[in-house]
Structure 1
């Protein structure tokens, strides 16, 4: 899987606070990878199919790119097989 490009992604650096819970709604098998804030909810679209955790990994990579942090600093806490997911940021807080 290729690393997501930074262009066309919103700046989510403000979410990079230690212990922050990041709720997202995921759309797998989309036409393109995208992150958007709609109706106060973070929506992530990925082109990957939702099998064997591939879509979860793609969402984690896309979120980490938009936040400007390493993917290993985001852990999926809830929603392994659901569209509604909750990620926890465990890295150092960014100012």
Structure 2
């Protein structure tokens, strides 16, 4: 389950970054963090900017409503989603995640 922490400004989201990927997008959950893939290389903040853009687009937020709080040089990042409750952030994330493949379900 993706960990969402309430804050005064909104919600803090743990992100596991995957820079240098084949395409941009949300990949799912990993150890309580949202996995985000970006094509940008981790060079001079390019991947961080791309992660914020991918999140803004996927979650339907203005780019100014998303900020990197910690983890500038790490794959593990804390991102502020301003103006959202944990419940609303959870709904938006769930709606933006790819559908599980049939092999990923226990049916």
CA deviations 1:21-47 (Å, max 9, x no partner) are: 111100101111120223443100100
Hey, what does 1:32 align to over in structure 2? 23
Distance 1:92 1:63 in 2: 13
Distance 2:56 2:50 in 1: 10
Report the 3-state secondary structure (helix = DSSP H, G, I; strand = E; otherwise coil) of the residue aligned with 2:77.
strand
2:82 maps to 1:90? yes
2:22 maps to 1:20? no
Shift of 1:89: 1.6
2:75 maps to 1:75? no
Higher helix share: 2
CA deviations 1:39-88 (Å, max 9, x no partner) are: 44310010001111110000000001111011111110000000000001
TM-score, normalised to structure 1, is 0.73
Structure index of larger Rg: 2
Shift of 1:91: 3.3
2:34 maps to 1:42? yes
Report the 3-state secondary structure (helix = DSSP H, G, I; strand = E; otherwise coil) of the residue aligned with 2:40.
coil
Unaligned runs of 5+ in 1: 1-16
Greater RCO structure (CA 8 Å; 6+ sep): 1
Between Structure 1 and Structure 2, how many residues are aligned?
A: 79
The two structures, once aligned, show a CA RMSD in angstroms of 2.1
